[in-house]
Amino acid sequence: MTDESRTRATPDVLIVGAGPVGLTLANDLLRRGISCRLIDSADHASQKTKALGIHAKTLELLAKMGVDHTAIERGLKSPAFRLSSDGKPIARIDFRQHLLESPYPYVLMLPQHETEQLLTDHLQRQHGAIEWQSELIGITQDEQGVEAVVRHADGTVEQSRVGFVVGCDGAHSAVRHLLGLHFAGTTFEQSFAVGNVRLAWELPYDEIVACVHRGNFIAYFPMVDGRHRVVIAYELEKAPTGEVTLEEIQQVIALCGPVEARASDPTDLTRFHVNQRRAEHYRCGRIFLAGDAAHI
Ligand SMILES: Cc1cc2nc3c(=O)[nH]c(=O)nc-3n(C[C@H](O)[C@H](O)[C@H](O)COP(=O)(O)OP(=O)(O)OC[C@H]3O[C@@H](n4cnc5c(N)ncnc54)[C@H](O)[C@@H]3O)c2cc1C
């Protein structure tokens, strides 16, 4: 590995992390005529479906960038949420009745990689770009600006002087660590399982459905490709361990409902715990945190 100093035109803002938050920020800064540079340590965009639901307020913000129509074309409008307990329906909330004030009276289901793609396309239309394989490894600041140290794929290390830095670099944020900020909060004991499946059932395909039964919970979110995201929460101390399987999902469906539903063709199965954490400050002088870097 060789170290080398590179110089380039100084942007007003260095954005660290090209997830949905970094991409949104880059687009919004460029829209306002503020120059920025967007770096990411990964070698390409993630193709994981991750966050699915885009709410009305977010669509209003995407409209300011002019990308709301593209998002709507590529996504699926979910018009309602149903809840049942012990097999009995107890609520159905029709978003068209409860979100009358919004031009978007639904939850738009769009996989995160699609959201990131449309934000990237818009960034390119504004002559912006993501610099992949560029990892922030150091940061210092004075009253006039910030000195950022960026390592590239070929091992070269670049010193870059910018006006401001925004850490949009996710839950394990390097910016937050480099600032020495605590990420106070808790990891909930309850264990969750998640995956995408094809469902055969009687319920309307496009509605969000949640079913509870004695401390167990399963929710179904429709996806634009005809499948459903399934999220399962287990009763404390009764969660399975090891790999999530289709059989496990089918057992929870039998327990919580709807009993006639049959799941098949599983992908992206994993377990996770929910964290609730917040950085002690979102700003230190000229350096900011945003998105998962700031709060999860
Ligand atoms: C399986 C899964 C399912 C999920 N489902 C949902 C859901 O249903 N609903 C929901 O709201 N959320 C969900 N999430 C969470 C959601 O994906 C995150 O909240 C979201 O991605 C946060 O966006 P972000 O831009 O803040 O950070 P990220 O998307 O984490 O992006 C951070 C970026 O920073 C880059 N980076 C990290 N360190 C550096 C560095 N030192 N230098 C340069 N770049 C760096 C990373 O490569 C990454 O591209 C899910 C997450 C997963 C993993």
pLDDT in tens, 205-251: 999 999 999 889 999 999 999 999 999 998 878 889 999 999 999 99
Question: Sheet harboring 13-16: ordered strands across?
Answer: 130-131, 36-39, 13-16, 164-167, 287-289, 283-284
Instruction: Decide if the complex's ipTM is over 0.85.
Output: yes
Q: What are the tokens at 28?
A: 């919004």
Report pLDDT for 7: 47
Distance 223 CA to ligand 1 centre (A): 19
81-90, 93-102, 161-170: least confident range: 93-102
Is residue 125 within 8 A of residue 92, CB to CB? The reply is no
Distance 256 CA to ligand 1 centre (A): 30
Rounded to whole angstroms, the Cα distance separating 13 from 33 reads: 12
CATH 3.50.50.60 residue spans of the chain = 13-52+111-181+281-293
Q: How open is the CA angle 120-172-129, to the nearest 5 degrees?
A: 20
pLDDT in tens, 32-66: 999 999 999 999 999 999 999 999 999 999 999 99
Q: Which of 21, 48, 50 to mutate to test the pocket of ligand 1 (most atoms within 8 A of CB)?
A: 50
Question: Which run of H or E residues covers position 269?
Answer: strand 262-279
Distance 19 CA to ligand 1 centre (A): 6
Q: What are the tokens at 163?
A: 């006006």
Nearest to 205 by CA among 222, 217, 180, 189: 222
CATH 3.30.70.2450 residue spans of the chain = 186-276
Task: Compute the mean pLDDT over every residue in the chain, rounded to the nearest whole number.
Answer: 94
Rounded to whole angstroms, the Cα distance separating 138 from 235 reads: 43
**Confidence class of residue 4 from pLDDT cuts 50, 70 and 90?**
very low
By percentage, how much of the chain surpasses pLDDT 90? 90
Choosing among 3.20.20.210, 3.50.50.60, 3.30.479.10, 3.40.50.300, the CATH entry for 13-52+111-181+281-293 is 3.50.50.60
User: Considering only the top CATH level, what class is 186-276?
Assistant: alpha beta
- Looking at the predicted structure, is the pLDDT value of residue 6 above 50? no
By percentage, how much of the chain surpasses pLDDT 70? 97
Rounded to whole angstroms, the Cα distance separating 108 from 91 reads: 20
